[in-house]
Copies of this chain bind each other. A is one copy, B any other.
Amino acid sequence: MLRLMIFLLVGTTAFSVHAQSDVPLPSWNDSASKAAIVDFVTRVTSPGSPDFVPVPERIAVFDNDGCLWCEAPLPLQVEYVLAELKRRAPQEPKLAKNEMVQAALKGDFEQLLAGDHHDGLMEIIALTHSGMTTSEFDQQVRDWKDSFHHRRFGHDLKGMTYQPMLEVLAYLRENDFKTFIVSGGGADFMRVVSEELYGIPPEQVVGSTSRTKYELRDGKPVLIKTMDYLFVDDKAGKPVGIHQFIGRRPIACFGNSDGDQAMLEYTTIENPHPSLGVIVHHTDATREFAYDKKPPSSGKLVSALKAAPERGWVVVDMLKDWKQVLVGESD
């Protein structure tokens, strides 16, 4: 209630000088988007409110690429694949001779994305995401993380996350929400960085997965990564992943592309609890990237954007709604 009062006060008092830390979402302008998020959280957490939701049911899900961190000009996991191939090719002649590896190292994405199933891309993902133990993979991702600099902004990985979305995560957790990532990205990949970047522990990361193989190697338990039983946590796969990994329906869902439409539906249509659907729309070509119909890589936003008004989903305009975009941005 205090939080609501502060918000209303700030919203109506242009020259308010309240300390930012008292106000939720300080990097958000006082727009309708911010008001909708704060209003929802206030409603579901106010004891006695007809919209009150018990703590265990306060599940919030977030897409990752383009929703919590930048996905342009290439998704960061694709940057990882390219960096790995570049690192390994000089030491592994067989790898270096692979046609798709050569396409990747030349930056020939047309070849990698050819065909309905993007066979080239799948091949270089398999080459960099299977055949090693989970510990070896984790170490490779950590090494990459430590050396990463974004090709346009020069930021490190933390600097590629969205400051306003980190504030949403923190705000929801302060209000006893459990925050989950539900992303098409690889679960093993994201779990290496999710705790440090977002405060989201590995067990709250739902992503694309394939099975590992357990064995005792020289008496020591190892899990070997394979591409078997690949589960792609995207589009209709997102509600499927939410059910399989979380086992209950979220009441808040944040996405940014048509790949998130199914989980936005699953969260907001005929949910017995009040619910919130939010789409982050990339509209800021200066501070980040502007795209929807023609995204730089993945992440087309057409159908979900069209459905938003009817569904009551909040569309966040990054240009207008956010004071700051990337964490790495200098003020």
Contacts and interface: CB of A to CB of B under 8 A. Distances in A.
Interface of A: 56, 59, 134, 178, 180, 187-188, 191, 195, 201-205, 209, 211-216, 219-221, 223, 229, 231, 236-237, 239-240, 243-248, 262, 265-266, 269-270
Contacts of A213: 236, 240
Contact of A221 (B178, B221, B239): B239
B214 A239 contact: yes
A275 B59 CA distance: 31
Given A56-B195, A221-B262, A221-B266, 14 more contacts: A59-B203, A180-B203, A188-B247, A202-B248, A203-B203, A203-B204, A211-B231, A212-B243, A214-B236, A214-B237, A220-B270, A221-B270, A223-B243, A229-B231
A266 B219 CA distance: 11
Nearest to A267: B221
A204 B56 CA distance: 12
A271 to B, nearest CB: 9
Number of chain copies forming the complex: 2
Contact of A212 (B59, B191, B219, B240): B240
A299 B221 CA distance: 22
B245 A245 contact: yes
B221 A269 contact: yes
A247 B214 contact: no
* 4 A-B pairs with the lowest CB-CB distances in the bound complex, closest first: A202-B247, A214-B236, A191-B247, A214-B239
Nearest to A191: B247
23 contacts: A56-B201, A178-B203, A191-B247, A191-B248, A202-B246, A202-B247, A202-B248, A209-B244, A211-B244, A212-B239, A212-B244, A213-B236, A213-B240, A214-B236, A216-B265, A219-B269, A220-B270, A221-B239, A221-B266, A221-B270, A223-B240, A229-B231, A245-B245
A273 to B, nearest CB: 14
B262 A203 contact: no
A236 B223 CA distance: 10
Contacts of A223: 239-240, 243
A265 B203 contact: no
Given A214-B239, A239-B223, A266-B214, A247 B56 contact: no
Nearest to A264: B221
A195 B240 CA distance: 21
B247 A203 contact: yes
A195 B248 CA distance: 12
Contacts of A262: 214, 221
Contacts of A201: 56
Nearest to A134: B243
User: Which of A215, A231, A243, A248: most chain B Cβ within 10 A?
Assistant: A243
A168 to B, nearest CB: 20
Contacts of A244: 187, 209, 211-212
